[in-house]
C-alpha cells in the first residue's frame, strides 16, 4: 500500500495501481491464506508493470467526438 501511495503522490496513478489497491483492500479480507499468497504475487506483478512503464493519470475526456458532416445534417 505504501508503494501505491507513493506512486500516486508522484502522479503515476493508472488502472494497474487501481487494480492492485482493489486486490489488497476489497479482496484481502475474504480470501484464504493460499488466495492471499496469489494476491501478493499478482500485486507484485501489477506494481512492477505500473512502475516500469509509468503513465500519468489520464484526465477524463470523451473517447470520440461525433460530428456529422455538414452534407448529412438536416
pTM: 0.68
Which pLDDT band holds residue 38 (cuts at 50, 70, 90)? very high
Would you say residue 72 lies in a domain? no
Percentage of the chain lying above the pLDDT 90 cut:
41
Which pLDDT band holds residue 47 (cuts at 50, 70, 90)? very high
Would you say residue 31 lies in a domain? yes
Q: What is the mean pLDDT of residues 41-50?
A: 92
Would you say residue 60 lies in a domain? no
Would you say residue 65 lies in a domain? no
Would you say residue 74 lies in a domain? no
Question: For position 57, what pLDDT does the model report?
Answer: 57
How far CA 6 is from CA of 20, 24, 51, 71, 74, in Å, comes to 13, 16, 11, 52, 53
CB neighbours (10 Å) of residue 44? Answer: 12
Full domain range(s) for residue 48: 2-54
Would you say residue 61 lies in a domain? no
- The count of domains in the chain is 1
Would you say residue 7 lies in a domain? yes
Would you say residue 36 lies in a domain? yes
Amino acid at each position: 500500500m505504501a508503494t501505491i501511495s507513493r506512486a500516486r503522490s508522484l502522479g503515476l496513478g493508472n488502472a494497474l495501481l487501481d487494480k492492485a489497491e482493489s486486490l489488497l483492500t476489497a479482496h484481502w479480507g475474504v480470501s484464504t491464506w493460499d488466495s492471499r499468497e496469489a494476491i501478493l504475487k499478482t500485486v507484485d506483478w501489477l506494481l512492477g508493470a505500473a512502475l516500469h512503464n509509468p503513465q500519468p493519470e489520464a484526465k477524463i475526456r470523451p473517447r470520440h467526438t461525433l460530428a456529422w458532416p455538414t452534407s448529412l445534417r438536416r
